[in-house]
Amino acid sequence: MRIEVEFVTGNEHKFRELSEALGNAAKLRWRRQRYTEIQADSLEEVVVHALREVEGDAVLVEDAGLFISALGGFPGVYSAYVHSTIGNRGILRLLEGEEDRRARMVSVLGLRLGSEVRLFRGEVEGSIATSVRGTHGFGYDPLFVPAGCTSTFAEAPELKAKLSHRKRAAEKLAEYLLSLTR
């Protein structure tokens, strides 16, 4: 029997990517609802706070971010705000002339079943391209080149499906959900 979980997010791309990544491990339903994203030091704190606010017996939320080495981890927990203000071109400007282009994308999925909360973290290492490239995906995808590759996630959606931070967090979540039904 597959567990039915409501994924609370305003982002349809996230819903599609997570549904695909989870496969048969869960029946995912999309609930489009805003919740308070607190200003905190970690993605985990944002997720735990969100789970207190969101109602339901089986709910999932996600907070994700881009952490750039040369900028001391910025935008990190500020990723949504930075993307909606300076955007990808603003990030490129901040990195102008910078040789160290290393970056990491992180996803923290928070699941609440009844009163029990569990977090699942996924990360992917990579670098920031020198221009905006590709039309697939969303957010920072046109900037992010996963380690060992030459295309951005926005140029190669198949790479994103295989390697992304969300996929890695989803694998851990899937394992947990399957363990509950065994």
Q: Within 10 Å of residue 157's Cβ, how many Cβ atoms?
A: 17
The pair of structure tokens assigned to 121 is: 């973290």
Using rule CB under 6 A, residue 146 touches ligand ITT: no
Pattern 22-61, binding to ligand ITT, x per CB under 6 A?
----------------------------------------
Beta strands of 32-169 (E only): which ranges?
58-68, 102-113, 116-128, 144-146
Question: Segment near ligand ITT (CB under 6 A), from 21-29, 120-128, 131-139, 171-179?
Answer: 131-139
48, 140, 146, 167: which one binds ligand ITT (CB under 6 A)? 140
Active site residue 63: yes
SS3 4: strand
Closest separation in Å from C-beta 79 to ligand ITT:
4
- Token look-up 């990190």 returns 76
Using rule CB under 6 A, residue 14 touches ligand ITT: yes
Candidates 41, 63, 100, 141; catalytic one = 63
**CB of 12 or CB of 175, closer to ligand ITT:** 12
In this structure, the dihedral spanned by the alpha carbons of residues 23, 24, 27 and 28, taken in order and rounded to 10 degrees, is -10
Measured CA to CA, the distance from residue 38 to residue 23 in angstroms comes to: 31
Q: Which residues of this chain interact with ligand ITT, rule CB under 6 A?
A: 9-11, 14, 62-65, 79-80, 83, 137-141, 164, 166
